């Protein structure tokens, strides 16, 4: 019996989570697994009413679950950063979800903004470090609000943190067993402390994986290759900030935010799965947002729980829908409503 904590969150989060849960019901019947869900209201609206975000008690409670399923965070009525750090980043850090796993996979050429790229050309995975780097929140102001003001934001990289991320990426590349190529994406030519540590650690860990081909790309060049030659990539490992940036570009080449899912992984603990697109306030409550990213996140969650067959079947159902029915993957242009798309995935399944 899996225990799933559900955090619908803000904006369109609750709408897409509903569709994901429909698919979860259908998958559990078809593949014979049991689960229970409990919903947690960590949202901008709750914060406005109560001042509460995620506290240590909440974290203790969530540690009892098999997985967390998250819709989206970010409410335009709340100052930017509060919900993001108080809910999403708080959970990632407190649950030590040190990997952010973001597959970039094109399901059908017609949704790719790049000319002449086929599904076999765009099929890679970004392993983003998810617990350190610029996200650590270290830094300071000097002489704040004066003409001599200085703002310092530190990229914090520990050998242990970098090592566990890189090791995960090598293991993942080996298990994925496609091209068996791992690309380190960094900035060794300028960020000579952080990326020196990353490069040395990468070279060291690589010795344990002679079956994996290694490569390196500066992050700026990587954005160019994403557009020009995405077929060069199999698995990419990078730090928290670069991973954040390149995976939005990755989402676009796979067809947009409507289809991009990710997992915040603690391989020894509780992981959290989410569509990566955010709360899309302007589409909230209109039944037009694309729920496929949230549905794919359910697939990733089931995969991590050991329900590989169910995960594969959900992906198949999504591919079928994307190929045969949807006019677009963007909100309001799919040719179907949010709830209809969820129903169609269930039907395909």
Contacted entry of Mn ion, ligand IPM, none for residue 171, CB cut-off 5 to 8 Å set by kind: none
Nearest to 92 by CA among 263, 241, 298, 304: 263
Contacted entry of Mn ion, ligand IPM, none for residue 88, CB cut-off 5 to 8 Å set by kind: ligand IPM
Nearest to 9 by CA among 193, 232, 273: 273
C-beta closer to Mn ion: residue 126 or 295: 126
- Residues near 283 by beta carbon (within 8 Å), at least 6 away in sequence: 11, 12, 289, 331, 332
CB of 344 to Mn ion, least distance (A): 28
C-beta closer to ligand IPM: residue 88 or 184: 88
CB of 149 to Mn ion, least distance (A): 27
Contacted entry of ligand IPM, Mn ion, none for residue 84, CB cut-off 5 to 8 Å set by kind: ligand IPM
CB of 128 to Mn ion, least distance (A): 9
C-beta closer to ligand IPM: residue 124 or 242: 242
Nearest 5°: the CA angle 124, 126, 127 is 135
C-beta closer to Mn ion: residue 276 or 318: 276
When CB distances to ligand IPM are compared, the closest residue is 84
3-state helix vs strand vs coil in the chain, percent to 5:
45, 20, 35
Residue 94: both structure tokens together: 């407190």
> For binding to Mn ion (CB under 5 A), which residues are involved?
244
C-beta closer to ligand IPM: residue 12 or 348: 12
CB of 102 to ligand IPM, least distance (A): 8
Q: Give the phi and the psi of residue 26 in degrees, each rounded to 5.
A: -65, -40
Nearest 5°: the CA angle 29, 33, 34 is 95
When CB distances to Mn ion are compared, the closest residue is 244
CB of 248 to Mn ion, least distance (A): 6
Contact 12, 279 (CB under 8 A): yes
> For binding to ligand IPM (CB under 6 A), which residues are involved?
84, 88-89, 244, 276
Report the DSSP beta bridge partners of residue 63: none
C-beta closer to Mn ion: residue 20 or 277: 277
Residue matched to tokens 């993001």: 84
CB of 324 to ligand IPM, least distance (A): 30
């Amino acid at each position: 019996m899996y225990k799933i904590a559900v955090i619908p969150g803000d904006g369109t989060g609750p709408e897409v989570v509903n569709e994901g849960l429909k698919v979860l019901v259908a998958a559990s019947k078809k593949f014979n697994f049991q689960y229970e869900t409990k919903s947690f209201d960590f949202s901008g609206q709750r914060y406005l009413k109560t001042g509460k975000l995620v506290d240590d008690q909440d974290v203790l409670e969530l540690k009892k679950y098999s997985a967390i399923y998250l819709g989206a965070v970010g409410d335009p009525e709340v100052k930017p950063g509060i919900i993001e750090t108080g809910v999403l980043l708080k959970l990632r850090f407190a649950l030590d979800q040190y990997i952010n796993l973001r597959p970039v996979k094109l399901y059908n050429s017609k949704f790719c903004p790049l000319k002449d790229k086929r599904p076999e050309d765009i099929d890679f995975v970004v392993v983003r470090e998810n617990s350190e780097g610029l996200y650590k929140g270290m830094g300071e102001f000097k002489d704040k609000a004066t003409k001599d003001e200085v703002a310092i934001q530190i990229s914090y990289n520990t050998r242990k943190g970098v090592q566990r991320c890189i090791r995960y990426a090598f293991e993942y590349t080996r298990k994925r067993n496609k091209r068996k190529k791992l690309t380190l994406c960094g900035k060794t030519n300028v960020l000579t402390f952080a990326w020196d540590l990353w490069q040395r650690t990468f070279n060291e860990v690589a010795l344990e994986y002679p079956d994996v081909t290694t490569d390196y790309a500066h992050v700026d060049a990587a954005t160019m290759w994403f557009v020009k030659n995405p077929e060069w990539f199999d698995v990419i490992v990078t730090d928290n900030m670069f991973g954040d940036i390149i995976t939005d570009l990755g989402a676009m080449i796979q067809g947009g935010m409507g289809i991009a899912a990710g997992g915040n992984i603690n391989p020894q603990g509780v992981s959290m799965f989410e569509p990566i697109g955010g709360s899309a306030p302007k589409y909230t409550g209109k039944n037009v947002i694309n729920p496929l990213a949230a549905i794919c996140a359910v697939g990733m969650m089931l995969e991590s729980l050991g329900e590989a067959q169910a995960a594969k079947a959900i992906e198949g159902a999504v591919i079928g829908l994307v190929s045969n029915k949807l006019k677009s993957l963007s909100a309001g242009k799919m040719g179907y409503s949010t709830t209809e798309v969820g129903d169609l995935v269930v039907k395909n399944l």
